[in-house]
Structures are given as C-alpha cells and as structure tokens.
Amino acid sequence: MARSMKRTKSSRQTQILAELDSSPSLRVAELARRLDVSTETIRRDLDELTTQGLLNRTYGGAVRPLSSEPSVTERHRLFVDERQRIARAALKVIGDGNVLMIGSGATTVHVARRIAVEMKNITVITHSFGVATVLAFNPTIKVLMLPGDYHASEGATVGVHTVSFLGNFYADYAITGASGLAADGPSEALLECGAVYTAMVARSAKCVVVADHSKFDAIFPSRYAPWRDVDALVTDAAPPEKLTAALRQSGVELVAAN
C-alpha cells in the first residue's frame, strides 16, 4: 500500500511504530503528510500508543520509549548526509584543540573521521572503539583508549573505571553526541554512557555537542549536562523555539551545519 493512501486506525498505528524503527524521533506534521490524515488524527494515534507504552509523546511529535534507542550500528545508517555536514562544521569549532575527549555514538564517529583527515599532532581520549578505529588512519594522532566494561550495543567502554580514569586528564574540548536535546540540556539513553559524558564535560575547558535534528525535543533518562555547561551545539537544522530560547539563555553557540 502506498504511503499516501488512507489506512485504518490499526494499520496507521502499525505504520507509525514502523517509522520509529528507522527514525528515533517523529514529527506530527510529517506523519500526517505521509499517512494522508489530519494532524488531529495523528495526535490521537500518538496519545493511544503512548497509553499503551509503545512510544513517548513530545512537543510536536513522538520518540521511542524512554531508555530505548537503536544500537550504534543501526544509527550509523541514519542521517548520514546530515552527520557528515555536522562533522565538517564541528571541525571549525574544535580545530584549535590539542587534546580532545570524544564520546561514543554515530555522529561522533563522523566527527572523528573528519579529525583524522584535517588535524594532526593531537591527542584524543575516547571510550568509543568506532572513534579510535577511524582515528587510526592518521598516525600523527595519539589515541588514548579508556578502560572499563565493554558495552556491545554502543561499541564503547563504560563504568566506574572509565569515569575514574578520566579524572586523571584535562582536555581542550569534550565532543559528545546526544540521544535527545531538550530545554534543560542534552540527554543520553544509556545511563552508563551519560556518566562518561558528564565526566568528559567536567574535565574539559569547553564542551561541543554534535547532534542531528531528530534529537530535538526528545528526552532520555540521563541528562548529562545542563546547557550552561555546553559551549556549542552543532546541528543540521534550526531547533524548535523553546530549545532555541534555552540555548540563547545559557549562552550556547548554535553552529549550523550547512
């Protein structure tokens, strides 16, 4: 059945859940267009699915249930063009850094790939095996891999040993991704990774968050930093009004990835 054809409520809600399998965040207007129904109908569907515990409503849309996010391998297939643009824009912000801390995630791997191409004679401290792997292509970059328990779905080390080890270092920049971006700060689906990001932010002179538009208005369990501790957000689209206001109030530089 073509997406433009009308569906019964059951098939429509099944399609909404299927859309969440390929995108962690959905907008009401986009769903209404795809399913050829009114925005009021979509809102009723989202409310019913939320009551059933199958998704979480957000302002203007819906996200996966709290704590639920695709594995990093799945995320690598999403928003590739947007993340490449974000990576290029991020390099303009962090290009003067000598020591970087980089968190796990699909977007941070794209940033690391650009770092490997454009930067040299720097040190990178990371818990992400994906980040370490792409940096290995540049022999002038020293990579310090953090110890800890291996989290298979994230491809990263986490835990008390990871956080403790970070306490021995300082960096010019912490570069972190996010599962969600809300008015009170960036959040992470995995509590263990959120703890690592918090430690990275605390041990760095500046923090740069890199995240695509699908993270807008999404909230996950671990808010790893308030916006006042973040120096820049690099993203591919203009954030919603409430998020933009929070960034402005906290003095966060909004860097557009064109």
Can you read off the two tokens belonging to residue 214? 């699908």
33: tokens are: 């267009």
37-51, 110-124, 216-230, 238-252: segment of lowest average pLDDT? 37-51
Which pLDDT belongs to residue 70? Answer: 52
- pLDDT(122) > 80: yes
Give me the residue label for tokens 């021995």: 168
CA separation for the pair 28, 120 (Å, rounded): 44
pLDDT attached to residue 78: 53
DSSP for 140-186 reads TSEEEEPPSEEETTTTEEESHHHHHHHTT--EEEEEE--SEEETTEE
- For 51-65, 69-83, 157-171, which range has the lowest pLDDT when averaged over its residues? 69-83
46 confidence band (pLDDT: 50, 70, 90):
confident
User: Cβ(25)–Cβ(63) under 8 Å?
Assistant: yes
Using DSSP's 3-state secondary structure scheme, residue 58 falls into strand
**pLDDT of res. 229:** 98
So what's the pLDDT on residue 47?
Answer: 85
Average pLDDT rounded to a whole number, residues 152-174: 95
Q: Measured in whole angstroms, how far is the alpha carbon of residue 6 from the centre of its chain?
A: 33
Q: Average of pLDDT values for 11-22?
A: 77
Neighbours of 51 (CB within 10 A): 9
| Calpha distance 127→143 (Å, rounded) | 10
Q: How far is Cα 105 from Cα 10, in angstroms, rounded to an integer?
A: 34
How is residue 83 written in tokens? 């993340």
Q: Beta strands 142-145 and 99-102: pairing type?
A: unpaired
Answering whether pTM is above 0.85, one says no
pLDDT category at 68 given cuts 50, 70, 90 is low
pLDDT computed for residue 63 by the predictor: 66
Q: How far apart are CA 136 and CA 140, in angstroms?
A: 9
CA distance 120 to 207: 20
Please name the amino acid found at residue 68: S
Relative to beta strand 142-145, strand 204-210 is unpaired
| Confidence (pLDDT) at 21 | 62
pLDDT band at 71 (very low <50, low <70, confident <90, very high): very low
Greatest distance between any 2 Cα atoms in the chain: 59
